[in-house]
Structure 1
Amino acid sequence: MRFILPLMLGLTLCGPGLAQTPEAERTIVSTVVAEHDRHIDLLERIVNQNSGTLNLAGVRATGERVRAELEPLGFDVRWIDMAETGRAGHLVATHDGGGRNILLIGHLDTVFETDSPFQTFVRDGARATGPGIGDDKGGVVVIIAALRAMQAAGTLEGSNVTVFLTGDEERPGVPLDVARRDLIEAGRVADYALEFENLATEGGAEFGTIARRSAASWTLTTGGVTGHSSGVFNDTLGYGAIYEMARILDGFRRELPEPNLTYNVGVLAGGTPAEIDADGFRVQASGKTNIVAETAIARGDLRTLTPEQDARARARMEAIVGQNLARTTADLVFGDDGYPPMAPTPGNLALLERLNAVNRDLGLPQMSPFDPARRGAADSGFVAADVDTLGGLGIAGGLAHAEGEWVDLDSLIRQSQRAAVLIGRLSLGE
């Protein structure tokens, strides 16, 4: 709690031009502090509720716990069923008190399914570990804590807020256009979007997220004429599937590089035969040293910062694939499960400047934009083309997606205070 005093002193300097009165913002600050233990308890309860993406009942149960928090604040809460995509669904809560609409984005699911050994919240002082504790259950609690503080200060009443918590951020349902249809529509009618994934930190400094790269999958299949290896490279057998695969992947490595672009190869197999499973996660192959490979398969991802970079990279990849070695074939297919980029825009940067105005008034350090090459994709990418968006407003921590995922519980206070003040100011538009 060592930062409370400068926060309170900073707020005494607030002027009349703010979106909310200094008195209201002081109430926000003190309410978040007073309710800190309550929100740690809430975090523990929702972390201990397994909500791996494929645990549909667990995702819905987590949504019901959130519903119980938001309805008493005056939110109209509904559940959007996503059975047609093979997923549990999404929670959407609306509070129309007038003013500009602020869309708050997070997710209920985690990467830890019911068979994971990592299932339990454990606290050690200001540090806690647990499955999905930062990604994104800590972010969900930041949203709830911020809205409760706004209600206590009287600023929620006049605010227009939409909370959209997806149930399949970690493993989206298909078709993706159905899975993200409602989120995209919410973005189109919003004036601002705030995303509550993990806060970006480095060396004790905290950063704002004004950009995220995309995430798209691709599958490359090469074919060759099989036969005795004594004939490899000749006019009859040519080079075989593995040499063609090696040519293409090395071509990607040599010809694609540019800032903020990556293209990982995650799995690869080649031989006679070779095949990939229906989910696209496992490949297997067999062969002998004296047989020219008939088939090779590789799967990977593509991450870009802007739609223009994405189109440029895909076109270049396809051109490289098309330059076949003798007697080989190659087919590149991009998946339909991709996350679009959250490109850096002047509007996003302006939102960070608004957050930094809050930081100044709360006595907190200024936040610089975080390197987008070091952030993963998120649901904010689906709305960023339509609305100014700021990400990374969730809790601080580390080891996301890994056993031992942890958070700094003190950051729950800072992030909730920041969010509550920012939401109110943005909704009032002053």
Structure 2
Amino acid sequence: MKHLFMLLVLTLSGTSAVGAVESLSLSATEMQIVEQVKRELPQALAGLEQVVNINSGTMNFPGVEQVGKVFLQQFTELGFQSQWLDGKAFNRAGHLVASYGQRGPKILMIGHLDTVFAKEDDFQHFQKLSDSQIAGPGITDMKGGDIIIVSALRALKKLGLLDNVRIRVVMTGDEESSGRPLSLSKKALIDAAKWADIALGFEDGDSNIKTAVTTRRGAGGWTLAVSGQAAHSSQIFTPQVGDGAIYEAARILQAFRQQLSAENNSAMANLTFNPGLIIGGTRVEEQAEKSQALAFGKSNVVAQTVKVKGDIRAVSQQQLSQAKKIMQVIVADNLQRTKATLHFDRGYPPMADTQGNRKLLSLYSNISEQLGYGPVVAVNPRKAGAADISFVADHVAMALDGLGLMGKGGHTKDEVADITSLGKNIEKAALLIYRLGQTEQH
């Protein structure tokens, strides 16, 4: 990996024998790639319509597997060694893994098959709104990205230009709602990352074709449980009764906000921590599977129990660890006659911003400019959520995400693709893979 990284650094600085590739215009071979992508764009659009029309909400296991088998057949036809990995062990449909090549840099291409739209949802179909806009469940997040992966590889394969790279494609079936345990649900991704030199993710990033993702914030959950002394409200604040669970929860949440906000702690820039559910009273009952809860309490009774659930997102493992320590100190400084505990769930790790990632972005941006599409810059990490590439980024020399189909309204019934970005991003992906293979030759 170090050898490949140094080659790419030299390429981008214009000091290696590959400097000609960084000229102001595309080579004759690269022009052939672009023309091949254009010829196959109708096939890409038809494929997109086919998979969007198959419901693959994460928990619709047959639907997720059906989408996976559509792509498995396409990879098999391209000469890839392809397999479906059953997900019973982590309570999900499973994953698709496809591999190709015997020499050259090892490139991991990441997609996912599932969407946030359940089988019962009324948002189910591919719908053309105009010449440039198409609506559909998961069209940008991320069936469009999956189509970009297979279309870029198909164009290179048809031109005989796929033999200078080694490719492994992993399309997961649980990106929107990870199976448990993570050690099993993410094993295929992490194994591929340990094999790879480079990771490319085909999520839609912030849905701006002028940006790509060099860093992603990690995302995990936390649960705050608070207990107090139940009593008549007339006795609140006395040494015998204390402040009650609701005041203690309010103290803790306000202290989180004050001590972890970026305006008060510069080390916490881009950190967010959101309490998404709070319930308190004499008795509480959480119904986690329905994302709801029940409570009993009266205005003249000091609250005995509070539960708060939220998430936390950090740009680095160091920032996350520091934030967790501060939060635990806050939680331990209890008001009188109250107790509190804070539990963190394992979630998506941060994808750190590295020199390798930036070099890969520079190469991708150069390709975009030579195609006449303008430069591509790093996205603000606040504008891109967690994604599967976060599990692999620490294992590769360089990683880049946000290379998928652009649009708007992801995770809502207003999800609409900017279909003009489909061909552009297939071209960029194909040229990026081709140039990575050329880099390795010198």
RMSD: 1.7
Matches within 5 A, 1:16-35: 16-17=20-21, 22-35=27-40
Whole-Å separation in 2 of the counterparts to 1:103 and 1:81: 20
Specify the SS of the correspondent of 1:303. Answer: strand
Shift of 1:15: 7.5
Specify the SS of the correspondent of 1:106. Answer: strand
Specify the SS of the correspondent of 2:218. Answer: coil
**Are positions 1:178 and 2:184 aligned together?**
yes
User: 1:210 maps to what in 2?
Assistant: 214
In structure 2, which of residues 197, 204, 214 is the aligned counterpart of residue 198 of structure 1? Answer: 204
Whole-Å separation in 1 of the counterparts to 2:394 and 2:65: 29
Specify the SS of the correspondent of 1:344. Answer: coil
- How many residues are aligned here? 414
In structure 1, which of residues 249, 254, 263 is the aligned counterpart of residue 253 of structure 2? Answer: 249
User: 1:385 maps to what in 2?
Assistant: 394
Whole-Å separation in 1 of the counterparts to 2:309 and 2:437: 44
User: 1:61 maps to what in 2?
Assistant: 66
TM-score between the two structures when normalised by the length of structure 2: 0.91
**Are positions 1:405 and 2:415 aligned together?**
yes
1:305-354 CA-to-partner distances (Å, cap 9, x unmatched) read 00000100111111110000000010111113x00011111110011011
Equivalent position amino acid for 2:204 in 1? N
**Are positions 1:371 and 2:376 aligned together?**
no
Shift of 1:181: 1.4
User: 1:141 maps to what in 2?
Assistant: 147
In structure 1, which of residues 231, 234, 241 is the aligned counterpart of residue 238 of structure 2? Answer: 234
Equivalent position amino acid for 1:256 in 2? L
User: 2:405 maps to what in 1?
Assistant: 395
Whole-Å separation in 1 of the counterparts to 2:439 and 2:387: 26
Change (3 A) 1:217 1:280: farther
Equivalent position amino acid for 2:370 in 1? D
- 8 Å CA contact 1:24–1:155 kept in 2: the answer is no
Change (3 A) 1:304 1:199: closer
In structure 2, which of residues 122, 131, 136 is the aligned counterpart of residue 130 of structure 1? Answer: 136
TM-score between the two structures when normalised by the length of structure 1: 0.93
Identical amino acids, percent of aligned pairs:
42
User: 1:5 maps to what in 2?
Assistant: none
In structure 2, which of residues 91, 94, 103 is the aligned counterpart of residue 98 of structure 1? Answer: 103
Whole-Å separation in 1 of the counterparts to 2:112 and 2:376: 24
- 8 Å CA contact 1:24–1:154 kept in 2: the answer is no
Specify the SS of the correspondent of 1:54. Answer: coil
Task: Specify every segment of 5 or more residues in structure 1 that has no aligned partner in the other structure, as ranges.
Answer: 1-13
Shift of 1:268: 0.6
Change (3 A) 1:169 1:220: same
- 8 Å CA contact 2:206–2:383 kept in 1: the answer is no
Whole-Å separation in 1 of the counterparts to 2:333 and 2:19: 65
Shift of 1:278: 4.3
1:21-55 CA-to-partner distances (Å, cap 9, x unmatched) read 82321121111111112111110110000000000
Matches within 5 A, 1:275-424: 275-279=285-289, 281-336=291-346, 338-387=347-396, 388-424=398-434
